[in-house]
Structure 1
Amino acid sequence: MSEPYEYWLLDLDGTLVDVEWDYVRDVFDTVGDRLDRPFTDAEAETLWHGLTGSRNRQLDAWNVDPERFWTTFHDVEDPQTRAESTYLYDDAAFVAGLDEPVGLVTHCQSFLTEPILDHLDIRDWFDAVCCCTDETGWKPDPEPVEGVITDLDVETTEGTGVLAGDGACDVGAAWNAGLDAIHVDRHGPHQRGHCVRGDYRVDSFDELDLP
């Protein structure tokens, strides 16, 4: 990687951290029981990681009401249990060594994100955090990204910043906000059914050859 970025923005779930499968399976089993609609392993993984893009579009395609699903899903999730089931990717450790301002832009809700940051002891990695809501907007919209850039109080000229994430929505949010995009492909196009392309496309941050 040759670009000396002046600030970094990162996604959380699937990019820096992930969750043990047993927890994911238990959550979807309980949600499925409450909705009277079981979810297969493949369906659970697809929704958890957003492999097909918009989760709401995917739910609609399965004839599952998105609003009812998410209300049930968030009611089922236990923040502390999820935090204790969350692990840090080995290659994510580079973030701790960044001298530049670092922001976090995640679709993971605040009541889940906060315990994860505390449990993994990575809160001090980030100078600004945005847990997306309907008010902030959702990636790939640029609004939550632009909000974090404002909080970081950094220059926004072309080529000064980068956003790294594991989904197409992260790449879209980066480009829509005028940033470079790093796609960290933790699953591969064979699982997604399509290829996500960014300015950089890697399987691990180790491939970036950061100083």
Structure 2
Amino acid sequence: MVVDAYDFWLFDLDGTLVDAEWSYTRSVFDRVGERIDRPFSDREAEIIWHGLGGARNPILRAWDIDPAAFWPAFHAEENPQQRAEATYLHGDADALLSVIDVPIGIVTHCQSFLTQPVLEQLALDERVETVLCCTDETGWKPDPKPVQSAMKQLNIGRDSVGVLAGDGESDIGAAWNAGLDGIHVERHGPDHRGRCVLGDYRVRSFDELPY
């Protein structure tokens, strides 16, 4: 059984354990578009929000958007409480978390000022032992450093076997770069994503895992 095979589990947050209602996402991109004087289509908003095309900064540059201008505008328009209230826990993620009885951590690109309210709103802070929000100092997935930092916080032993589950290719890359198995949960479909993401396990829902 997959769950019993690991001594610890790490998860990405957005798109993996939780998601935000589309109305919230759309409103954020509307306001960001006004700030930088560049409107976003629904498809463009989806691509950036969910990371459908891979790393976001190269995509922004391909659209002639300076990431150094976009991200401050994006974070300025995110409201932590509204984000938390608009965020829901995926049912399959809830079920999987309920059967894991080894240490659990989260490694997310979502910034701490947004992550903590979401965790509290959904009581996820009571179900995980550590949360690492990536920064320039910690490194960004697929860099293994944030994963390794989370493992250190969990006091993971050298011979422990672990896994990282996420919805993006950067999650699987970070898992493999850190010597972990990678589970890719594809919540959008490869046609909508525009590419196929590899993984040791590839599922549309965590319900597909044998446990």
Q: CA deviation at 1:155?
A: 2.0
2:155 maps to 1:153:
yes
Q: CA deviation at 1:192?
A: 1.7
CA distance, structure 1, for counterparts of residue 98 and residue 119 of structure 2: 13
Q: CA deviation at 1:156?
A: 3.6
Q: CA deviation at 1:148?
A: 0.5
1:121 is matched with 123
2:6 maps to 1:9:
no
Write the letter of the residue equivalent to 2:73. T
1:67 is matched with 68
CA distance, structure 1, for counterparts of residue 148 and residue 158 of structure 2: 9
TM-score (normalizing by structure 2): 0.97
Q: Secondary structure at the match of 2:107?
A: strand
1:39-54 residue pairs with structure 2 within 5 A? 39-54=40-55
Write the letter of the residue equivalent to 1:141. D
Percent sequence identity is 60
Q: CA deviation at 1:140?
A: 0.2
Q: CA deviation at 1:188?
A: 1.1
CA distance, structure 2, for counterparts of residue 178 and residue 192 of structure 1: 26
2:19 maps to 1:18:
yes
1:138 is matched with 140
1:190 is matched with 191
Report how many aligned residue pairs link the two structures: 209
Q: Secondary structure at the match of 2:131?
A: strand
CA distance, structure 2, for counterparts of residue 76 and residue 127 of structure 1: 30
Unmatched segments (≥5 aa) in structure 2: none
Q: CA deviation at 1:125?
A: 1.2
Unmatched segments (≥5 aa) in structure 1: none
CA RMSD of aligned residues (A): 1.0
Write the letter of the residue equivalent to 2:133. C
TM-score (normalizing by structure 1): 0.97
